[in-house]
């Protein structure tokens, strides 16, 4: 059975590891091509956009894809919406392999905001030194609050560089360890952290470090979920694919889809 995994996350790579060598499931992983040196999964990989809903639907039809797993980041809303539309158009089953959102623990000082512009606005009442861990594509709204000093951590350099008068750029890729995160907050005398509510383990240590230091975290809520069923575990996604493959017509690579739960 031909499968497309929309990737770019540790969960997608974990699912790819589970499926590598599986003779019944021929999966291809798709990456957007945003990072210069991506961690490549152990499966055939294609890189770059499809060209919107039409391009994705055409690719799925050409390849005879019988199931799609959307394992993209919870904030990658456009590709997820495209997957819903393209799969809906073709009748291809779609599963979301997502991460449970982080929830505040006792002692956390979280300020929940709906988007990045609201995150920037929330900083006005907070201290001067801000740790920005929101990725390199969403820095522009912070130009509205130029009086802060920003410590910006990204995997690849922002392009263009943010229009901020005072910032320090730190290039690094998770997973990050709790003690190292605490040391980073102390070294840079951070007063507040800004984070997306990405979930997962690779980048949550900054939240534990903020709690230990007693500083606030401006937490950007996720975009609303789509209609597809969601699992939080690569093993559950692999099992869903195995059930599809075992169902009558499932391995044929066509678009006949009996109702498999």
Ligand X SMILES: NC(=O)c1ccc[n+]([C@@H]2O[C@H](COP(=O)([O-])OP(=O)(O)OC[C@H]3O[C@@H](n4cnc5c(N)ncnc54)[C@H](OP(=O)(O)O)[C@@H]3O)[C@@H](O)[C@H]2O)c1
Q: Are the CB atoms for 157 and 169 separated by under 8 Å?
A: yes
Q: How far is the CB of 247 from ligand X (least distance, A)?
A: 26
Instruction: Output phi, psi for 243, to 5 deg.
Output: -65, -40
Quick check: 77 binds ligand X (CB under 6 A)? Answer: yes
Q: How far apart are CA 214 and CA 192, in angstroms?
A: 9
Helical residues (DSSP H) of the chain, grouped into ranges: 10-19, 52-63, 77-90, 116-122, 178-187, 205-213, 234-246
**Pattern 78-117, ligand X, x by CB under 6 A:** xx--x-----------------------------------
Q: How far apart are CA 87 and CA 81, in angstroms?
A: 10
Token digits for 189?
Answer: 């005398």
When binding is defined by CB under 6 A, the residue of 20, 39, 40, 49 that contacts ligand X is 49
Q: How far is the CB of 129 from ligand X (least distance, A)?
A: 23
Please list, in sequence order, all residues whose beta carbon lies within 8 angstroms of the beta carbon of residue 14, skipping any fewer than 6 positions away: 234
Find the shortest distance in angstroms from Cβ 201 to ligand X.
Answer: 14
Sign of CA dihedral 174, 153, 217, 97: negative
How many of the chain's residues bind ligand X (CB under 6 A)?
24
Report if residue 18 touches ligand X, rule: CB under 6 A: no
Site string for ligand X, 122-151 (x = CB under 6 A): -------------x----------------
Segment interacting with ligand X (CB under 6 A) among 25-33, 84-92, 111-119, 200-208: 25-33
Q: Which of 221, 196, 130, 217 is nearest to 167 (CA)?
A: 130
Using CB under 6 A as the binding rule, the residues of this chain from 202 to 261 that contact ligand X are: none
* CA gap 153, 3 in Å, rounded: 34
Does 197 bind ligand X (CB under 6 A)? Our answer is no
Least distance to ligand X, CB of residue 126, Å: 22
- Does residue 154 touch ligand X according to CB under 6 A? no
| Residues of the shown chain interacting with ligand X in the complex, contacts defined by CB under 6 A | 6-9, 30-32, 34, 49-52, 55-56, 72-73, 75-79, 82, 135, 196
């Amino acid at each position: 059975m031909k499968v497309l995994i929309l990737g770019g996350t540790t969960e997608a790579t974990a699912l790819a590891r589970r499926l590598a060598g599986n003779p019944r499931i021929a999966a291809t992983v798709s990456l957007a091509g945003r990072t210069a040196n991506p961690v490549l999964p152990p499966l055939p990989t294609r890189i770059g956009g499809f060209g919107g809903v039409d391009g994705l639907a055409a690719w799925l039809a050409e390849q005879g894809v019988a199931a799609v797993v959307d394992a993209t980041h919870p904030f990658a809303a456009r590709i997820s919406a495209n997957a819903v539309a393209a799969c809906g158009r073709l009748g291809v089953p779609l599963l979301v392999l997502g991460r449970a959102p982080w929830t505040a623990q006792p002692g956390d000082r979280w300020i929940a905001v709906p988007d990045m512009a609201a995150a920037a606005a929330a900083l006005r009442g907070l201290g001067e030194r801000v740790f920005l861990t929101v990725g390199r594509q969403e820095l522009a709204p912070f130009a509205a609050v130029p009086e802060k000093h920003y410590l910006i951590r990204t995997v690849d350099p922002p392009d263009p560089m943010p229009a901020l008068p005072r910032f320090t750029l730190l290039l690094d890729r998770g997973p990050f360890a709790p003690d190292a995160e605490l040391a980073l907050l102390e070294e840079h005398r951070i007063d507040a952290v800004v984070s997306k509510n990405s979930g997962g383990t690779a980048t949550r240590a900054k939240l534990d470090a903020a709690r230990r230091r007693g500083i606030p975290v401006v937490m950007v809520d996720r975009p609303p979920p789509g209609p597809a069923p969601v699992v939080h575990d690569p093993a559950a996604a692999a099992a869903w694919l195995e059930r599809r493959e075992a169902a009558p017509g499932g391995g044929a690579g066509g678009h006949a889809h009996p109702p498999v739960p």
